[in-house]
Chains A and B, each alone.
Chain A
């Protein structure tokens, strides 16, 4: 086949169009993911030309001899549960309110969404300064309200540091859920809302019987995205506490990074990554199957 003929073949054209993006994706995203699984069964310091196969030793090490792993695991679970509750609920409330015809709603939407587009590391830097126990925002406000007794070392105290970090995360992520819910609300059939109103249904009844059922797909999407992004929480923890004090804000993503890039135990770091990857898959795979079924029903 001559070159001219071959460029006439749609399959060749498809290949030319597909290869650049998919090759980069395969090399720089899929390959590292496969490599992380292989690494988790090896012992490697990142420099040695030889990687030594050690079976499941890295896994037994993190499960039985690494106390930080379980702290990080517990914190990741707490963090995920909080991310499943607070940003979606606040986001839904904001979306429902901002879906009403009220004065200045575009400006209000913009305000709630603004933190989403700021670099998480900048959010961390902002909040670290706001949490400053002496001159930070919270300490100043409490002092001016005469509530000095409530001032805490927000990020320095083991018992509250995780929640302090989460408040910053909440501030940043609520706008994202809000925008998704606002888009979902546009799909609520207005004719049904009107019909219910005419039948004398109150606001709560309309919400419960019309809006909420119509929002179900959106709710699923928001919850799945909340879980995924909460598992990825890295920048904001790294910037605010670095996992401290005394590992009280340590999380799986950060601990995997620390093991590999700072302690140079790539095997253990990879094993932690695989655990996190498996947890993510447990959420993602059912979700993908659900969306596929959903599409087939619609098609």
Chain B
């Protein structure tokens, strides 16, 4: 095994997980401990906690704001997000011992197709090109590359469970995989590190922008 494979398979998983956890905690704490801002709600505000949760679920499940106010972007966004949801579920199921191979494949396909379509949408819209920086393209290319290489390397085969468990038990053992797997793993690790540091952190930042600001829940 090459040195880089050793690093990617043995060391970097812990770096990625560590950075992810620390970044989420640091950013989360920064926002959670923010001084209470002046009320800056946007109405209508859901009147009860139940209705607020329902509205947030609607956002998560159907991306309601995009569906309602930016339909041209909705299908691509939905594919990408559903792909990510599926991959999250695949990870969970795999770790607990359920072979969810096809769910992983579907999830990666969703991310791949979604990111390609979003990239094409961004490139073909003069308005979106105007407001985009390199980082917006990088985000999509990272998602595209990660999902494509993961599919190519058969990343979602059930044998990954042993590797995932070996990481959890602090004795990582990636030796059963070929070189392609390590390319995919490297990209996944980069994504895990990058996710909470980028604007993609909205997966949990939205709690603050909606709950604390838009709805004024303190």
User: Does B bind A?
Assistant: no
Measuring CB to CB, which residues of chain A are less than 8 angstroms from any residue of chain B? none
The residues of B with any CB-CB pair to A shorter than 8 Å are none
